[in-house]
C-alpha cells in the first residue's frame, strides 16, 4: 500500500515538473535560433559557397590560420569528420576582421579573392527573445557600433530605439557576435537564402 502511494506521489511530482517546464520550452522553440537552422561557426572569407566543394578544395595546410592577425581561424580536428583540418571561425571566441590575408595566402581555390561587399560567410540573425533592447532590458548598440560595413549591414529600428536590424549587406564576419554582451549571445548566423532574416522590420 505504501509503495503504491509513493509511486503515485512520484508520478505526480514528475508531471508537475514537466508542466512547469512547458512554457519555457515552447518559448525557446519559437525563438529564431531554434526555428531556423543557425550556427556561430563560419568558414573564412572567400570560402567556396558549396561547403562540400570547399572541403574538397582545402588541403588543410593551415596557412590561413598562420597569417590571421587576430587568430580567429581555427581548424576542425576529430570533430570535423571528412572536414578534418579545414578552417572555421567561431565568432563567440574571436571574429573575422575581413583583412583578406587568409585569401591571399591560400594555395588552392578553397578561398577565392572577393571584394569586401561580396564576401558571404553567412548572414546575421537577431534572437529578439534574448537581445536586451528588443526585450526592453536596456540600451546596447554594440553590434551596430562594431560592424565594419556600417549601418548598411546593421542599423537601428526606425526612431532610433537602439533595437538592431540586420540588412542584406551583412557579410557574416561575426564581429557583432563577439561584442554581444548577452550571456546567451543574441546573434547567430545562417546561410543566405530566400528566408534570410535581413531587412526585417
Q: Which domains does the chain have, with CATH numbers?
A: 51-114 (3.30.70.20)
Quick: pLDDT tens for 113-128.
999 999 999 999 999 9
Say if CB 90 and CB 40 are below 8 A apart.
yes
- Partners of 87 in the β-ladder: 75
Q: Is the separation of the CB atoms in 106 and 98 below 8 Å?
A: no
Cα–Cα dist 108/61, whole Å: 10
pLDDT at 4: 63
pLDDT of residue 194: 57
Per-residue pLDDT, 89: 95
Higher-confidence position of 105 and 161: 105
Q: Dihedrals φ, ψ of 130, to 5°? A: -125, -25
- What's the pTM value of the predicted model, to 2 decimals? 0.74
**How many residues would you count in the chain?**
201
d(Cα 19, Cα 39) in Å, to the nearest integer? 29
**Over residues 4-33, mean pLDDT:** 53
What is the reported pLDDT for 183? 79
For residue 163, the tally of other CB atoms under 10 A from its CB is 22
Maximum Cα interatomic distance, the chain, rounded to a whole number of Å: 77
Mean pLDDT value of segment 44-53 = 94
Burial class of residue 94 (count of CB atoms within 10 Å of its CB; 0-12, 13-18, 19+):
middle
Arithmetic mean of pLDDT, 173-183: 90
Q: Strand (E) positions, the chain?
A: 73-75, 87-89, 123-126, 154-156, 164-166, 187-190
Amino acid at each position: 500500500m505504501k509503495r503504491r502511494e509513493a509511486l503515485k506521489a512520484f508520478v505526480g511530482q514528475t508531471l508537475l515538473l514537466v508542466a512547469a517546464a512547458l512554457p519555457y520550452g515552447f518559448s525557446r522553440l519559437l525563438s529564431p535560433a531554434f526555428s531556423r537552422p543557425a550556427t556561430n561557426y563560419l568558414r573564412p572569407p572567400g570560402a567556396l559557397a558549396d561547403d562540400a566543394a570547399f572541403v574538397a578544395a582545402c588541403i588543410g595546410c593551415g596557412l590561413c590560420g598562420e597569417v590571421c592577425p587576430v587568430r580567429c581561424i581555427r581548424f576542425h580536428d576529430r570533430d570535423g569528420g571528412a572536414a578534418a583540418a579545414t578552417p572555421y571561425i567561431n565568432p563567440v571566441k574571436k571574429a573575422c576582421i575581413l583583412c583578406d590575408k587568409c585569401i591571399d595566402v591560400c594555395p588552392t581555390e578553397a578561398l577565392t579573392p572577393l571584394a569586401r561587399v561580396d564576401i558571404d560567410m553567412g548572414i546575421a540573425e537577431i534572437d529578439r527573445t534574448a537581445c536586451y533592447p528588443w526585450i526592453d532590458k536596456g540600451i546596447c548598440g554594440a553590434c551596430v557600433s562594431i560592424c565594419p560595413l556600417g549601418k548598411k549591414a546593421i542599423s537601428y529600428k526606425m526612431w532610433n530605439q537602439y533595437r538592431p536590424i540586420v540588412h542584406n549587406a551583412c557579410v557574416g564576419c561575426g564581429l557583432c557576435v563577439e561584442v554581444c554582451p548577452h550571456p546567451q549571445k543574441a546573434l547567430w548566423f545562417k546561410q543566405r537564402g530566400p528566408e534570410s532574416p535581413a531587412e526585417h522590420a
